[in-house]
A and B are shown apart, each in its own frame.
Chain A
Amino acid sequence: MSEATTAALSAFEQALDRRLLAALEACARCGICTESCHYYQSTPEPAHVPAARAEKVRAVYRRSHDPIGRRFPWLVGARDLTDESLDDLVQTAFASCTLCRRCTINCPFGVDTALIMRAARGMLTAAGKAPEMLVMLADAAIARGEHAGEFREIYREIVAGLELDAQARVGDPSLRIPLDRKGADILYVGLSGAHTILPAAIIFHEAGANWTLSMFEASNYGLFLGDPAKAKAIAKRIVDEAIELGVKDVVLTECGHAYAALRWEAPGWFGGEFPFRVRNIEEVLAEYIQDGRLVLDPSANPGPVTYHDSCNLGRNGGLLEAPRVVLRAAVAEFRELDPHGKDSLCCGGGGGLVAIPEWEEIRLRAGRKKAEQVRRAGVPVVATSCENCNLQLTDLNAHYALGVKVVGLMELVVNALLRAKERQASPAGKAA
């Protein structure tokens, strides 16, 4: 047995808890999950059946844990783990599954194939076979946490520049983008790039929120790697920052897996609930709208708008109503995709695929059904509240010539917010 296979099997043993065991054992290979997978829908090949994907891990499990698999492997489809099968598993676990759990919700047994694929990813990461790009991004995030002091001043300068941009957009020099504000109610965690910070700054300013911007980015590539130690190290930066600043809420930007990681998974890595709430910006927007803290003019977003549910936020995160509250207030006409909500089709960009350039062709092919669904909806604007979905939908738009505009929820809200402000500032608005 090679070092790689030994490391992979050791990682598998670590991951093998009751949930994973049940997922490995319960499948009856009935094939009912087949069409639930967007890979299969886009390319109907046996390898894209979720149960077939999971069988690659089950084969290894049976060889090492099933007495029949040990003695008569041919009878139960048990196989030794080899370097070759590890290479094959890379394609299966990283390139052919976005961990969207659409198969799980469609399985009569509730088999959690995403959990099995995440265990496979952990095995591959331990074996040194995970995609380099994901490993690099995870390591870079950890390094940024370890050397936060070194880039703090540079970041402060960047944020000062963003603050000027936000002030110019709103026409209000009192707008601030605070950093390291102790006693703030909200710690907002964006992503690399101004597009996740500027609209949030405008929204928080207009809502009169007591907030501060995080020094770190929300994304957590450790989750994609199936590596709880790395995922915890990445999350720890934000957890420590939130505790130090004494915030009540950590609000994550439009990013599905960041929400999955910090809202749902991280308390398990840290051994208990956090002394603060973890929320997604969708929830905060819906709350501000319902409480009347944000006044929106939906005419700023004319034309029908549809919404793509991120799998991590919707089906697996429970944020099904909040984005719809936001859209009903922020756009002139909202139309649902079919299917949507917990049954939404994955766009094909999740699970870290969007970050891996060499798998671009695979993910564009996997997104074909989503592209067809958007085309069928016949709308000019597709909104989403996940960065990876946004990138994938933008690529699908170009690849399949959909002729739509892909936007984030925050962008729509800012448009409607500023239009409402303009109206109020106009002579007619003042008179009213």
Chain B
Amino acid sequence: MGGAEAWAVLGAAAVAAAGLWRHLSIVLSRPFRPERARPAGSPAAGVRYAFTLGMMPWAKESTRLHLLAYLRGIVFHAGIGAGLVGLVLALWTPDLPAVPRRLLAGILAAGAAAGWGGLAARVVEPGLRTLSTPDDYVAVALVSAFLTAGALASWDARWTGIYLLAGAATLVAIPFTKIRHCFYYFFSRYFFGLFYGRRGVLGGARHE
């Protein structure tokens, strides 16, 4: 796919990469204060747990209680992954065979539905509304629009231009809005696993 939209996506990807690079440099500029106490468990096992079994919906009381919201989040994020893959495919191989195109469309549509559903929940539920900042609404709406456009483009190529522009806008927004939590998630979850693994609480037996 050529044209201005494609260049917009490439430019936006560069902005996103530069922005995330800046965030990485911010993280690295801050001191790392590892626990120096003798470990009672395995930090590595804790980190492995944090990114695998610890993410399962049954692993936490909170996700069992908010199963629908949690699954909505999972579907939304799976949709975002598919949306980014779709963006790359739209740039380089716009003519996908029917089966993968429809599969992609399905994931994008489900992701979009989860995104709009999450936004609606943020508006309707008083607890979530209190927690939210304008950034939360803008970011979720933008990403949901991106996924919606992606789903439509997978069915009808005439939407591809809109999909690319929405993708470009989402990419630019990553480092500047709450969307960047996708980057910090890995740090937070890593530290979580390190903490509870080292203390012998999660990820394996306590050895002391």
Contacts and interface: CB of A to CB of B under 8 A. Distances in A.
Contacts of A33: 62
A68 B179 CA distance: 13
Contact of A268 (B37, B54, B184): B37
Interface in A256-272: 263-268, 270-272
A32 interface: yes
Contact of B30 (A21, A76, A272): A21
B208 to A, nearest CB: 8
Given A30-B69, A321-B206, A19 B178 contact: no
Contacts of B33: 17-19, 268
A193 to B, nearest CB: 27
Contacts of B31: 17-18
Contacts of B32: 17-18
B35 A76 contact: no
Interface residues of B, number: 59
A34 B176 CA distance: 26
Contacts of B200: 318
Interface in A1-48: 16-23, 25-36, 46
Contacts of A104: 192
B22 to A, nearest CB: 10
A383 interface: no
A110 interface: yes
A22 B37 contact: no
A316 interface: yes
A46 B26 contact: no
Which of A18, A315, A321 has the largest count of B CB atoms less than 10 A from its CB? A18
A407 B163 CA distance: 65
Contacts of B193: 110
A314 B97 CA distance: 55
A50 B91 CA distance: 42
Interface string A103-143: 01111111110000000000000000000000000000000
A51 interface: yes
A55 interface: yes
A131 B80 CA distance: 46
Instruction: Determine the interface band of chain A, counting residues with CB < 8 A from chain B.
Output: 35 or more
Interface stretch (B107-115, B128-136, B150-158): B128-136
B192 A28 contact: no
Contacts of B73: 30, 108
Contact of A105 (B37, B60, B188): B60
A26 B188 contact: yes
B37 A46 contact: no
Given A49-B127, A339-B61, A77 B41 contact: no
Given A268-B36, A277-B38, A318-B200, A26 B181 contact: yes
Interface in B162-208: 176-178, 180-181, 184-185, 187-193, 195-196, 199-202, 206
A316 B200 CA distance: 9
Contacts of B70: 32, 108
Contacts of B201: 315-316, 318, 320, 342
Given A32-B70, A109-B181, A273 B36 contact: yes
Nearest to B200: A318
B100 interface: no
B120 interface: no
B53 interface: no
A18 B63 contact: no
B66 interface: yes
A178 interface: no
A195 to B, nearest CB: 27
B134 A17 contact: no
A317 interface: yes
Contacts of A265: 37
Contact of B37 (A23, A76, A263, A343): A263
A22 to B, nearest CB: 4
B27 interface: yes
A13 B110 CA distance: 42
Contacts of B141: none
Nearest to A228: B33
B35 A264 contact: yes
A318 B206 contact: yes
Contact of A68 (B36, B69, B177, B196): B177
B191 A22 contact: yes
B181 A264 contact: no
B2 interface: no
Nearest to A36: B62
A342 B41 CA distance: 15
Interface in B32-79: 32-38, 40-41, 50, 54-55, 60-63, 65-66, 69-70, 73
A112 B199 CA distance: 15
A67 interface: yes
5 contacts: A74-B134, A112-B191, A316-B201, A318-B199, A320-B201
